[in-house]
Structure 1
């Protein structure tokens, strides 16, 4: 049984302290971040609308604070240990002097650095160009530094808080898969399969969240579902109105962020009906399955991300299907949808215990089928642990 509870305040504070140490080591006085990944990772804030910017301000020495539209303040206080210290509104009120998010952010920065000599670290990857230009205008181009890589590095090794939530996200994906497998019949449409995924997934997410009222079980990604020779070779096709026929291979991608914005990777080809699988389709399925097995065997501390990709690539190359490859072997997972490193050629990042990946080499043969076996994998001291279930969906 997976332990129920979200990261504790102590875990959030430990994450903030580690980033503060990195800020100091890199000569950064104040971090300002507007990306949802950072506010979720440090503050536990999730599910807010992205129309009005929300800033997390973290001094290298001091307490973090949020700069928020007044609309979202109550929800932030409900979810997070970090206080809202500056609010902005869209009308005149002397109690709230800021009319835009940048005015409010500048008020905080002027309080923290009245002489404007602080070096500001901004997440260029998730901040708008207008926000960066405003910061440069107030502090000078030379005092506004890009700390995107610093934030990425902070999330490379997952703590127990992240791992615990990803385990539950993996459980949700498996729950959805089993529901689809039990109900899939020829004559259904792709979108009806998507509905099974969404309903069963929300049911399972609600189970994990029954004592966590701060968060929602309905923040679900749309699954990627394609069926038959004409559509299953689409790597990222959304579920359509196409009717699934007897003997179709339905490629399921149940990846996404089903719980608290934490991500999971789980992909399987599934047979609809009882027709025998043709030899050309069977070949694609077998190679994809073999490629994933080779990639998993290559995962261990000390190996590189590129080594894992090379192992899968070698299988595909040996079978003469390199032209049917369309993407890397895998990607980092965790407290956002896409994390690093990536399991691809040229990524020399050394694998370490605590990294989590979607291991998902795929074969896409136009006019025949696609097949992608994907799983969520945790690197451990002794090798790896599959957080999804590799015994599920390997019975075609």
Structure 2
């Protein structure tokens, strides 16, 4: 469990999820190693072949079922007091049955059970075998609306992750002409080192670094192309701070004169991003923020070159709700955090994307990134 969060935070989150379970008429949620489990229990682990579940009843305290080799770790890293362990020579489902008997005692009707959205099919099938008559749903019914509104501890971590990204962005600009001649991969490796040196525990996602025509591919990671004078370079990166990711994109030219149209395109993207930021406030639909960015780009004649959503929610997962996209009528609320990242991509020439994270406030939004958005370096 991160030292930045205390037990009271996790208990409060669990209480809100249990209230949402009641609204969804659910008796039990079963979480698997995932960001949902991490969010409620403070314990983080990758999925593996052994049964590891957190059972959250509608009322009362949660309970873990874990392999014995995880028992000490779970007790040390989570606030959950009930931890039932099984050895490799035991049947884990017999332990699951015992825990379910305790947690579902008093449920007279057929129980409604929510399973983690990312749970592997083999474990879902095992649960169905233990509870053959249950009604099933997804944990997102109860967890998603709680996670989408970040609490104070989460916002603090996201702000600090934003500052790390800002620091690295400004360091990159200061390099200027020294970057020319480096390959994309060499510079991406340096960015990863700087993120860690400036306070990130790890990179939040593989660095996206597209120079010249590679920048026209939005999810080009990086390769052996050398960065030349005048090359527009799309730089998309972030570091993890107390389990929460930064995510920032800037498009820069390290030295020399950029290609024809680049200045115009960069100005359009920057205007579109500002229009979307200005549109953010409580009560506005997510799709209206997307429309604000898209209208600027379409008016400039580049609508076909902006072919992805304007943004995505950010929390324990780099991509989560709310999605800032046409058709999403989700109403924005204080505490929601998401990216605003319009882009224009001219195949075979260059791309431009500018991205900041924003947090919805009571009367607008707070930008979590403040590094320069201009394209000039040095």
Q: TM-score scaled to structure 1, two decimals?
A: 0.87
Q: Distance in 1 between matches of 2:159 and 2:95?
A: 38
Does 2:212 align with 1:228? yes
Does 2:331 align with 1:337? no
Q: Distance in 2 between matches of 1:383 and 1:313?
A: 20
CA drift of 1:376 comes to: 0.8
**SS state at 2:14 partner:** helix
Does 2:267 align with 1:270? no
CA drift of 1:327 comes to: 0.8
| Contact 2:252–2:374 under 8 Å retained in 1 | no
Question: Quick one: which of 26, 29, 34 aligns to 1:28?
Answer: 26
CA drift of 1:149 comes to: 2.8
Does 2:356 align with 1:375? yes
CA drift of 1:395 comes to: 4.7
**SS state at 1:358 partner:** strand
Greater mean deviation of Cα atoms: 79-88 or 168-177: 79-88
Report the CA distance shift for 1:5/1:181 in structure 2 as closer, same or farther (over 3 A).
farther
Question: Quick one: which of 61, 75, 97 aligns to 2:59?
Answer: 61
Counterparts of 1:1-396 in structure 2, within 5 Å, are 6-46=4-44, 48-52=45-49, 54-83=52-81, 85-90=83-88, 92=89, 97-98=90-91, 100=92, 102=93, 104-113=95-104, 119-140=111-132, 142-183=134-175, 185-205=179-199, 217-218=201-202, 220-229=204-213, 231-255=214-238, 258-273=240-255, 275-389=256-370, 391-396=371-376
**SS state at 1:145 partner:** strand
Deviation per residue, 1:317-354 (Å, 9 max, x gap):
10111111121001111222222111110111111111
Greater mean deviation of Cα atoms: 182-191 or 337-346: 182-191
**SS state at 1:327 partner:** coil
Q: Any stretches of 5+ residues in structure 2 without a counterpart?
A: none
| Contact 2:357–2:369 under 8 Å retained in 1 | yes
Q: Distance in 2 between matches of 1:169 and 1:105?
A: 38
Q: Distance in 2 between matches of 1:370 and 1:394?
A: 15
1:213 matched residue in structure 2: none
Greater mean deviation of Cα atoms: 129-138 or 280-289: 129-138
| Contact 1:290–1:315 under 8 Å retained in 2 | yes
Q: Distance in 1 between matches of 2:204 and 2:138?
A: 31
CA drift of 1:115 comes to: 8.7
| Contact 1:330–1:342 under 8 Å retained in 2 | yes
Q: Distance in 2 between matches of 1:119 and 1:262?
A: 34
Q: Report how many residues are paired.
A: 371
**SS state at 2:54 partner:** strand
Q: Any stretches of 5+ residues in structure 1 without a counterpart?
A: 207-216
Q: TM-score scaled to structure 2, two decimals?
A: 0.91
Q: Distance in 1 between matches of 2:48 and 2:271?
A: 44
Q: Distance in 1 between matches of 2:265 and 2:87?
A: 56
**SS state at 1:253 partner:** strand
Q: Distance in 1 between matches of 2:204 and 2:273?
A: 26
**SS state at 2:199 partner:** helix
Q: Distance in 2 between matches of 1:331 and 1:260?
A: 20
**SS state at 1:245 partner:** coil
Q: Distance in 2 between matches of 1:170 and 1:141?
A: 47
| Contact 1:302–1:352 under 8 Å retained in 2 | yes
CA drift of 1:172 comes to: 1.8
**SS state at 1:58 partner:** strand
Greater mean deviation of Cα atoms: 361-370 or 173-182: 173-182
> C-alpha root-mean-square deviation of aligned residues, in Å?
2.2
